[in-house]
Amino acid sequence: MTPDPTPTAATPPVTVTQWQPQMPPDNLIFDDGEPLESNRHRIGMNVLIRSLNQAFAHRNDFFSGGNMFIYFSREQVRNQDFRGPDFFAVLNIDGSYPRQGWVVWEEAGRYPDVIVELMSPSTATIDVTEKKDIYEQTFRTPDYFVYDPFNADSLQGWHLDANQTYQPLTPNENGQLWCQQLGLWVGVWQGTIDREFAPWLRFYDQAGNVVPLPEEAAQQQAETAQQQAETAQQQAETAQQQAEAAQQRATELEQTQRNAIPQLLATGMTVEQVAEILSVSAEFVQQIANSNQ
């Protein structure tokens, strides 16, 4: 049988398309143009951020933000279901650079460790239901607090227990709630900030002292420096007065000794005996004796 000289077409190689994971979205927005509920809400948010920055001024391993988007899922981005807590803090991260928002997949999967929502009539229900569920079940945020800056009795807080379930926090005798993640108390402080008198939500240290804002800390330092300067001035004046009193006593003693020397010598005592009695040198006795001759 004669072989067929017609060449057979080569079979094309089979290519396998490698699976590529779907990349997270990068067309994120960080400003929805929605203002805070009120000026008091704005001040209250800044108070929490600035006071925590002051409390942790010696640290560079945390980030605190407010009214910023937290991106945590593709579905959330697609549905434009943005979550922007009024205040949040993340610990044990690189805090050396600013963020426009918190993007979980760009932060090694880290979610906030502490969240505070400043409630209003329009958000109060969502803050203690829908948002609370997300922070508990999705974010697993250990410490969550809510507070209405127009209602001093509205503070509530929860801590995530070993079963990853929020348990309500019990206030101390001052009505403050313990924030385990920050090692600080959260409580209400009545006073004026930015020209507005209100019951502000503040952080307190373990001893119960309110954590100061930067300008309050600067004022305290200035007052302490002034007190130290006044104390130093008082001590200097006291030392001067003591020195002058000592000099006066020395002058009076010397005059008494000068007056006594002629009288004692007149009794027949020797120069040495007078010097011993008056605790002075014989030369001094002799000098006074010579000046009186």
Tokens of residue 170, six digits: 């019990």
On the question of pLDDT at 29 being above 80, the answer is: no
Q: Which two tokens stand for residue 104?
A: 């979980």
* Within a domain: 94: yes
Confidence of residue 20 (pLDDT cuts 50, 70, 90): very low
Give me the chain's average pLDDT, please: 87
* Degrees, nearest 5: CA angle 150-156-162: 160
**Can you give the pLDDT at residue 17?**
47
Q: Do 153 and 284 fall into the same domain?
A: no
CB contact at 8 A, 83 and 72: yes
pLDDT at position 142, please? 98
3 pLDDT band, cuts 50/70/90, is very low
- Number of domains making up the chain: 2
Which distant-in-sequence residues (6+ apart) come within 8 Å of 107 by Cβ? 90, 93
Q: What is the pLDDT of residue 12?
A: 54
Place 10 in a pLDDT band, splitting at 50, 70 and 90: low
Q: Are residues 126 and 69 in the same domain?
A: yes
181 and 250 belong to one structural domain: no
Residue 214 has pLDDT above 50, yes or no: yes
278 and 207 in one domain?
no
**Maximum CA extent, the chain:** 168
CATH of the domain at 92: 3.90.1570.20
pLDDT at 37: 74
Examine residue 234 and state whether it is found in any structural domain, yes or no. yes
Q: pLDDT-based confidence at 34, cuts 50/70/90?
A: low
Asked, for residue 189, whether it belongs to a domain, the answer is yes
Together in a domain, 130 and 72? yes
pLDDT over threshold 60, residue 193: yes
Residue 167 domain-assigned (yes or no): yes
1: in domain: no
pLDDT confidence of residue 185: 98
Eight-class DSSP state of 269: -
Residue 269 shares a structural domain with residue 187: no
- 58 with 181, same domain: the answer is yes
Is 143 within a domain? yes
- Interval 114-168: pLDDT, tens: 999 999 999 999 999 999 999 999 999 999 999 999 999 999 999 999 999 999 9
Residues 230-279: pLDDT tens digits? 889 899 888 999 999 999 999 998 899 899 989 988 898 998 998 898 89
Residues 70 and 199 in one domain: yes
Q: Is the dihedral of CA 160, 164, 168, 170 positive or negative?
A: negative
Q: Pick the last residue of a domain from 178, 212, 246.
A: 212
Is the Cβ–Cβ distance between 148 and 124 less than 8 Å? yes
Q: Could you tell me the pLDDT band of residue 85, with boundaries at 50, 70 and 90?
A: very high
Same domain, 148 and 107: yes
Q: Kindly state whether residues 195 and 74 are assigned to the same domain.
A: yes
Measured CA angle at 103 (ends 68, 167), to 5 deg: 75
46 DSSP assignment: H
Q: Where are the alpha helices (DSSP H) in the chain?
A: 39-55, 74-78, 124-127, 130-134, 214-266, 271-278, 282-291
Question: Sheet harboring 196-204: ordered strands across?
Answer: 177-179, 184-193, 196-204
CATH (domain of 283): 1.10.10
Q: What is the pLDDT of residue 30?
A: 47
pLDDT in tens, 43-80: 999 999 999 999 999 999 999 999 888 988 877 766 66
Domain of residue 131: give its range: 39-212
Q: How confident is the model at residue 170 (pLDDT cuts 50, 70, 90)?
A: very high
For position 16, what pLDDT does the model report? 46
Kindly state whether residues 114 and 183 are assigned to the same domain. Answer: yes
Band (pLDDT 50/70/90 cuts) for residue 36 is low
Least confident of 22-36, 53-67, 199-213, 235-249: 22-36
Residues 122 and 233 in one domain: no
For residue 28, is it within any domain?
no
- Residue 79 domain flag: yes
